[in-house]
A and B are shown apart, each in its own frame.
Chain A
């Protein structure tokens, strides 16, 4: 028991003297004189991962000093931008502010994190501030690997948007769709794994088809894919057929769907075996990597993603830095907003345990990805994950996709639940109602 008492005293110091500390004290563990004050946790990135980490750290340990660094005063989610493109959501409903996190006592700083000094445990911001931290959480999302697909650089994205980060790119794609003439061809280029939101490209073409079928019904939607298999594949193929007839065509890698070169100005793409496809609207989902700060902080691997300790999501390369969300290499977990939110909660507990000098709890994670194929047609994939023999894996016997050939009522329910999920996770992440 001596280790226990020692750990408890350490926990008291780290969590501060009220809240957890006071409760521990009343439970019979005397407070130590000369507390070092509450520990400091800095979090970079105010999306699903970072904002959730801030919320849950503060909930579990109110005395903790939590700072969230996010340049945007209003964060727009990548999830549901497809519904905006499809005409089912207003863009404004995808924006979330930080007032509720402030109300909880999170110190929200609207600045860009520029560099991490792991040796001195500090973080430099673009407003000149130098922030000291005891534990650092990076939730930087993705960056585009410009040039990894021949011809696809920043300038090309102004002609052929990726729209894979919500914002101006999303609006550009929407304007292009609205300007396209009836009878035109929309082409989406889908990347090889891994990338943000595995079912995203397929939901994207579904929602584009939803818009076109209502406004430009003679148009065509072509998906050129670097893969032969994709998330919820049989459900998407069924949903496209049932809702859009032959408007949507998917070409996998073995059917020469892999695009190797983009000419964005001409809106042309060339496939592996030399076929040229011309689009009226060209949407390129390019290869990706962890957000830039991951590389700068020295936590990213050679493949551009961040290797983590499965149980805690602490960086394998730099102790004291935890990385969550799309930036991580966490196969078989998908890069989804749901998973980022869930990883944040597990990691919040792991950080608190670490600060108290205790072993982290045995974790389990959940994912549910909703995809909306048509207004009354939703589908899902659900998974549970655990650590088994030091590796992440799916919990045996759990998870799976919606049933094929399900009754209309079930598809309608899953479409409604998708909206309801968005409301739930927004409240759970930013504390916002949308």
Chain B
């Protein structure tokens, strides 16, 4: 239930308050953090649980991620690679919502199998 609670919290700051009462439906139709966060997964791993190299996002302190995302957006992080170019595609509010969303995810939860998914 923790996730649904987080969904609701995230939605409170999002654009479609009319859908807020129904958690899953709201998540499906959300235009906010849950949907936007799916883009991050392609590099940072499902639900931001990257394995190595590119930093994981799940469970990081919200204030740290928020500050970092806003700094990317303002091109204030020397040596950054793709993040400034991507962060400029989001509004400040969206970046804050993303920081809150990833901070609320459990970094330990398992996603994915251990092998290359080969059939036994």
Contacts and interface: CB of A to CB of B under 8 A. Distances in A.
Interface stretch (A177-185, A232-240, A392-400): A392-400
A424 B85 contact: no
Contacts of B111: 427, 431
Contact of B42 (A400, A410, A425): A425
Interface stretch (A96-104, A117-125, A265-273, A319-327): A96-104
Interface string B28-69: 111100011011011111100011111000000000000000
Nearest to B44: A424
Nearest to A414: B81
A29 B22 contact: yes
B109 interface: no
Contacts of B89: 364, 366, 384, 395, 397-399
Given A433-B51, A433-B112, A397 B25 contact: no
A364 B44 CA distance: 18
Nearest to A369: B82
A380 B25 contact: no
B46 A24 contact: no
Main secondary structure of the interface of B (DSSP, over half): loop
Contact of A384 (B18, B30, B86): B86
A103 B113 CA distance: 9
Given A380-B81, A433-B112, A420 B50 contact: yes
B93 to A, nearest CB: 14
Contacts of A428: 41-42, 45-46
Nearest to A19: B24
Contacts of A11: 25
Contact of A432 (B18, B36, B50, B112): B112
A358 B112 contact: no
B107 to A, nearest CB: 14
Interface string B62-104: 0000000000000000010110011011100000000000000
Contact of B118 (A74, A345, A398): A74
A74 B81 CA distance: 33
Nearest to A92: B116
Interface in A20-60: 20, 23-24, 27-29, 56, 60
Interface stretch (A142-150, A220-228, A349-357): A349-357
B53 A423 contact: yes
A417 B44 CA distance: 10
A95 interface: yes
A432 B113 contact: yes
Contacts of A27: 21-23
A73 B119 contact: yes
A427 B112 contact: yes
A61 B28 CA distance: 8
A362 interface: yes
6 contacts: A341-B42, A345-B35, A349-B29, A356-B25, A356-B28, A432-B117
Interface of B: 4, 18, 21-25, 27-31, 35-36, 38-39, 41-46, 50-54, 79, 81-82, 85-86, 88-90, 111-119
Given A425-B43, A431-B113, 5 more contacts: A60-B24, A349-B29, A365-B39, A384-B89, A433-B116
Interface of A: 4, 8, 11, 15, 19-20, 23-24, 27-29, 56, 60-61, 73-74, 92, 95-101, 103, 338, 341-342, 345-346, 349, 352-353, 356, 358, 361-362, 364-366, 368, 380, 382, 384, 395, 397-400, 402, 407, 409-410, 413-414, 416-417, 419-421, 423-425, 427-428, 430-434
